[in-house]
Amino acid sequence: MSDFFKDRRIVITGGAGFLGGYVIDGLKKRDCRNILVPKIDDYNLINDADIVRMYDDMRPDIVIHLAAVVGGIGANLRHPGRFFYENLMMGVQLIEQGRLRNIEKFVAIGTICAYPKFTPVPFKEDDLWNGYPEETNAPYGLAKKMLLIQSQAYRAEYGFNSIFLLPVNLYGPGDNFNPESSHVIPALIKKCFDALDAGDDHIVCWGTGRVSREFIYVTDAAEGILLATERYNGPEPVNIGAGFEITVKDLAEKIANLTGFKGEIRWDPSKPDGQPRRRLDVSRAKKLFGFEAKMPFDEGLKRIVGWYQENRVKS
């Protein structure tokens, strides 16, 4: 590993969150001496005054903007306005204040939800503007997508070095298992263990199960972000993914098997499926900064199921 991070002051927004903890671990392995995490109790990054104060207090060389208001399909349906406003305000103001201070680099983390609903598979970065996002998460996806526009506009006018990364859905130990806001893998794991606790003979899952998804293990995602932070300084968006897809039905069956749930998996087609298919083209990340995901999916699932089994509180 190089000494790129050693003496730079690195601010990690969202550093107290799921992905943030793994990014911080990656920085520590790179001997970074100045890792700065703005806690929400001290800095509400939706408010411009708090962002100004954070920059004044922490004086970063680089900002890695992981903080987001995010959730699964249900949370997106309940809070489209909140998800749009808060994600947009955080990102736009953080980039503007970074630009005013002429920081060395801003790393904006987007989302696969920014892609059009019917993007050809695998999703290539050049397809980002060829349609409207899937409706259930469009406000969130578009708010994040505006940070790409801002990054490119600020680079063109001010020479501001802001890069934009598009990670696919994350999973791994420490994930969010709150049924109000969790994504599909932790939600299915919790459903299976809850059914086992209750002695239920079935679980009910949203949609048809026919849609496909891609997932990246959280340590791989953190490594991709840090490699891009060190090595990539261009205007084009870059996917961070594992380059595969699995149907939600097959996923549910894998998780049921790993948790020991032997009951029926019932599907509720009255609930939305979300985007029909998801799989990223990951060639740009490999070409531009040498990133490839390492964790085999089955092994990653075993690790998150094992972690949850050890750490859960039984209902």
Against a cut of 0.85, is the pTM above it?
yes
d(CA 238, CA 224): 10
Contact 76, 272 (CB under 8 A): no
Of 22, 55, 140, 217, which residue is the catalytic one? Answer: 140
Residue-level pLDDT at 71: 75
> Who contacts 296 (Cβ-Cβ below 8 Å, separation ≥6)?
none
Residue-level pLDDT at 181: 80
- Rounded to 5°, the CA angle 299-223-143 comes to 105
The full set of domains in the chain, from first to last, is 9-172+215-243+277-295 (3.40.50.720)
Residue-level pLDDT at 162: 98
d(CA 40, CA 46): 10
| Residues with pLDDT less than 50, the chain | none
Contact 261, 305 (CB under 8 A): no
Q: Is 308 among the residues known to form the active site?
A: no
> Who contacts 60 (Cβ-Cβ below 8 Å, separation ≥6)?
9, 10, 11, 36, 98, 103
Closest to 87 in 3D by CA, of 67, 115, 57, 107? 67
Structure tokens at 32: 């970074």
Residue-level pLDDT at 69: 86
CA distances from 76 to 132, 180, 248, 279 (A): 16, 10, 19, 21
Residue-level pLDDT at 77: 85
Instruction: Tell me whether strands 202-206 and 264-268 are parallel, antiparallel or unpaired.
Output: parallel
